[in-house]
Structure 1
Amino acid sequence: MQLNHLTLTDLKRGWHPVPTGWQCNYCQAHWSTASPEQERNEHLTLVHGGNLSQLIHLDSRYNTLTNKQQDLLTAFATGIKDQALANQLQVAAATIRHQKFTFREKAKQARLYLAIYEAVFEQTAAQETPLIDVPDQPGPVDDRFIITEDEAAATLQHYFDFDQQPLRLKRWPKKQKVILTVLTRIIDEIPANHHFSETELNQRLKPIYFDYPTVRRYLVDYGFLNRTTDGREYWRNTNGKD
């Protein structure tokens, strides 16, 4: 899930707008603008176990909830009474009430932080050099992922031969930041909303660079492509760079 592309409303409902309609936040399911909301909610329930469950247990470095907190929030969502939950957990009802108080305090802190952040950076956004989008990463984010549009344009011009068709990479870069920048251009050659076998994917990557297995591996490692655990199917991560 690419959080910087989603509004708070998108996160709470489980789908987000795309040029052709709506798309699920967790998979490639797509609906037209005329589709009923019930259809989207049914998909979230049947396929993903409900949007709330997905949010609470989201595998992201931004989800700082402990397992215990996730279990408590899941229980609170059912509407269970404090005493009943306390009996289940064999704790005092006051302990449950304190947990609710703690969650409310964290929500207040988050709202205040968000208001401060938006007030500060919305004023300076016009003065900043825009950054290119990269997929969410499972590990720590460092300077590799801070790439301005100007940097990217200069890098791509240096490494690609744009006079040839199809796209051709002149050489494979050594620095990880440059590799990441190069991948943001290569992924544009892979159609979205389509699953590929490894052979089909190789056919698309081979004209770009002779060492296409390396390109394929980095596209997966950096989250531009998803694949099944057996490696038989690949598809573009549409929550990354569209």
Structure 2
Amino acid sequence: MEMTDLTIDEIANGYIETEFTYECIYCDFKTYKEEVYNYNNKFYTALGMIKLHIAIEHESSLNMLLSLSKKENGLSEHQVNLINMINKGYSDKQIASDLNLKESTIRYQRFTMREKEKQSKIYLAIMKNLKQKPDDSFLSIHNTAKQVDERYIATIEDEEKVKQDFFESLNPIKLKIIPRKEKYKIIVLRLICQQLTKSKYSETELNDVLKNIYEDYASLRRSLIEYGFFTRDAFGKIYNKCV
């Protein structure tokens, strides 16, 4: 499950509740509601244990949220540092000293954060109402996309154009040429990725699949990595599908 599919409370708490379990959103750890857990000779309910797990293994849900990329949490490095210091109970004077800023600047930034919280609630309410209307025509962006910018803003109409102009066939999928325009290239890579059924490939396996799609399979493989559709291990031998 993607974090964007969770509620605000689930993201803030760091776990989700199902009928029978509590499940960490940062790893595969889960607890079962009917069980009692022993940790260091102390006994915990399933809820208590999932909270303890998050505190021990992840420090806190806040820590994990701050460690996300700027694309995911929208925070600059300075904002991350500021929030960390506020969370640790630093005074404005201490924060100003550590960040080489004036106390008045820190106070203003605290005030701005509170105003942003208010605005965010209104924004979320707007988006909740907007989602009740028919979906727009924009294609979704995969979570592992790198340096998201205007290249990723594409519509269903763009996708149809790409299918017609750059593919010989879609079943089986066969590419005529890799587009120069990056927006179209990303659409091509997304369509190809949708046809790759395995979550993990050896380099040889991936090459064999891509050879049947496009003659310059090496360029295709590099592009899948470059645009975040695949990652590879430290030895460059295992390719993991990200979407």
TM range (shorter): 0.5 to 0.7
Any residues of structure 2 matched to 1:81-230 within 5 Å, and which? Answer: 82=91, 89=98, 100-119=110-129, 121-122=130-131, 125-126=133-134, 129-136=136-143, 137-142=145-150, 144-158=151-165, 159-164=167-172, 167-191=173-197, 194-230=199-235
Contact 1:15 1:24 in 2 (8 A): yes
SS of residue matched to 2:201? strand
1:5 Cα deviation after fit: 4.7
Query: Does the C-alpha gap of structure 1 residues 206 and 32 become closer, same or farther in structure 2, counting only changes over 3 Å?
Result: farther
Percent of matched pairs sharing the same residue: 29
Q: Paired residues, what number? A: 224
Q: Which runs of 5+ in 2 are unaligned?
A: 34-45
Contact 2:13 2:61 in 1 (8 A): yes
Q: Higher relative CO (CA 8 A, sep ≥ 6), structure 1 or 2?
A: 1
Deviation at 1:219, TM superposition (A): 1.1
Cα offset for 1:235? 1.0
Q: CA deviation at 1:183?
A: 1.2
Per the alignment, residue 42 of structure 2 pairs with none
Structure of higher CA gyration radius? 2
> Offset of 1:187 from its aligned partner?
0.8
Residues 182-229 of structure 1 show CA distances to partners (whole Å, capped at 9, x for unaligned) of 11111123346x443323322332222221111111111211112335
In the alignment, the residues of structure 1 paired with residue 127 and residue 94 of structure 2 have an alpha-carbon distance, to the nearest angstrom, of 36
Which residue matches 2:70?
A: 60
Q: How far apart, in 1, do the equivalents of 2:23 and 2:192 lie?
A: 23
RMSD over aligned Cα, in angstroms? 4.2
